[in-house]
A and B are shown apart, each in its own frame.
Chain A
């Protein structure tokens, strides 16, 4: 019966006709939501500066003066404890909850106070949703669940089943098409939920605590899958969670909510390193920083660096001045070539060699800028040298000494004037170096 449902053609627009205007995907301006019959009165008093508790006789203020924009193609996370109003807020974005006051626009279309027909159009074309407890239709098979959004959009049966099958494979549930939701595990159910949302082919995904009901391993796996899919498809995602680690992992930007108010909006790094108030600071102190901060966030300016074409004498002098026994070597365009150790360079200088080539070792540890420091940690354990940080062109952009790593994990500000190479027991004394430099000094070079 459900398959022969007449499509709601009059309201449905084919996908290719959809024009995605420039500008933010979602714009939220000073919205309020007060549950209760006297919501408008409560909003008026909240605007006059009354607190949430002071207006409690008029209604429950779930969202107070929220304002933010979600840009196209970003993952915007709203994070807060239960009762902070985040679930109410996400339902105001697609009009499942009407806003008591303020403006919500989705790709330029107004949502607040919108007519039902228009609201349904906005939901069909722009917003799909993933729910905390999956909200699959228990009387429908996996494939019919995934095709549900397309069915509402009026897509023909053959096409919607084809597209649904594609998404089922994409989330790794190939072969389960004709099973019913109660035959699946929690993680698999949420994959169906995810496939249903992606299959609807909307620009925006609203995810309400989508992974909170899953156990930790599955949750991590789903987070990674979501990130991959988002990168591949460039969807705009609004993700609600109470789990700060999840927020930090997924979010391009994070809004922290407390008691109905948004207390801070910023990148994960902003929130972590520059919390807006004590509440946020307290909240973030439990965060697993190693999984949030990237090498680029903590790295320092490399000091012990010599240019390959400068020769052994210049290298030796640099190391002596910095009191280090090793140095990174870069090419003329700052590409990281390797490392040299003072003892080897000293030998070269004594031999009178004029390139560093004979002493060059491969860099023991280097990472890309966007690597999380949890990955840097492992390398730092094994490497005698600070971990080098390189950009996409393999240019040396910074270094992460162990001290810096520890400081980052402990959330204290590291002493930045620290020499960035920690001196291992030094086999080469300064006196030896000076002697060698003097002995081989020629007219152009005078040791200091």
Chain B
């Protein structure tokens, strides 16, 4: 049966758009390419220059402050396992890619989330776009990304940014919208500006939700590591990819395990920062006599 008459040439349109972009926006894209490349190179340099144990200690210290000594110990053991299976260099490459992609994704996503929380119209426009970005199979982004940015680490970063950005936007919007309306109203009632209310009330109170979004972005970015490896990004993804091609169980297990270890460490660290209990700003002088006196005097007045 000939159905040609009702075929929509969406593929052709996409091609036209990408062609147009490579022709006319080449300048912009080469600037972006050098920025992303530069950031990645810089981070790789930071991770690779000192001996591995310095980096392990540094990450362990961060884990300690995020959650405590148990996580710090776990981090050291996990990273030593990566070193022992000779995946350290790949792991640091992948870590750089994930961090660069995450930072750029957040720089775009958090302001978008704030915008969506302030304006219903913006929210209604942004939501389907996010759905599209998140559900379109991530491989598909690679094709135009490779065309536009050429093989290397940059198409991997770009595809990761697009794929991983959505939860940060959503959870930022959700967090800010979820802040107690009366508290925000109190800010306005005392004559505060809306920018100041955002900084002093809405963002701090939305922080747990925003941190959950950041955590999700990092996890999604890690899941993109393998796909980025297919585009020539190197790192753990490349080893996983070549293990699949060569049916190399040994290499697959080792590089896959390294991805899992990195993912768990990053998840626990960001989760730890998200749930951290705030501390009193001043010295907590709850001298026993002091507090009992106050509590006692309150009901006393009642009677």
Contact = CB atoms under 8 A, between A and B. Distances in A.
Contacts of B285: 175, 178
B181 to A, nearest CB: 9
Interface string A128-169: 110111111111010110001100110000000000000000
Interface string B154-184: 0000000000000000000000000010110
A5 B200 contact: yes
Contacts of A123: 188-191
A128 B186 CA distance: 9
A132 B186 CA distance: 11
B137 interface: no
B191 A138 contact: no
B124 interface: no
A96 B284 CA distance: 36
Contact of B185 (A8, A96, A144, A187): A96
A368 B205 CA distance: 52
Interface string B266-288: 00000000000010111111110
A138 B191 CA distance: 19
B244 to A, nearest CB: 48
A179 interface: yes
Nearest to A2: B200
B302 A218 contact: yes
B191 A175 contact: no
Interface string A1-24: 010010010000000000000000
A188 B281 CA distance: 20
Interface in A334-376: none
A124 B191 contact: yes
Contacts of B188: 96, 123
A441 to B, nearest CB: 61
A187 B298 contact: yes
B297 A175 contact: no
B149 to A, nearest CB: 38
A178 B294 contact: no
A94 interface: yes
Nearest to A224: B301
Contacts of A131: 182, 185-186
A173 interface: yes
B190 A129 contact: yes
A180 interface: yes
Q: Which of B190, B286, B297 has the most CB of A within 10 A?
A: B190
Nearest to A119: B191
26 contacts: A5-B200, A96-B185, A120-B191, A127-B189, A129-B185, A129-B186, A131-B182, A132-B182, A135-B180, A137-B201, A138-B205, A139-B278, A141-B280, A141-B282, A144-B281, A148-B190, A152-B191, A152-B192, A172-B294, A175-B286, A178-B281, A179-B284, A179-B286, A187-B298, A217-B302, A220-B302
Please give me the 4 A-B residue pairs with the lowest Cβ-Cβ distance, nearest first: A124-B191, A123-B191, A129-B189, A135-B186
Given A175-B294, A176-B294, 8 more contacts: A8-B193, A96-B188, A96-B189, A129-B186, A137-B200, A149-B190, A179-B284, A220-B302
Interface of A: 2, 5, 8, 94, 96, 120-124, 127-129, 131-139, 141, 143-144, 148-149, 152-153, 172-180, 187-188, 200, 206, 217-218, 220-221
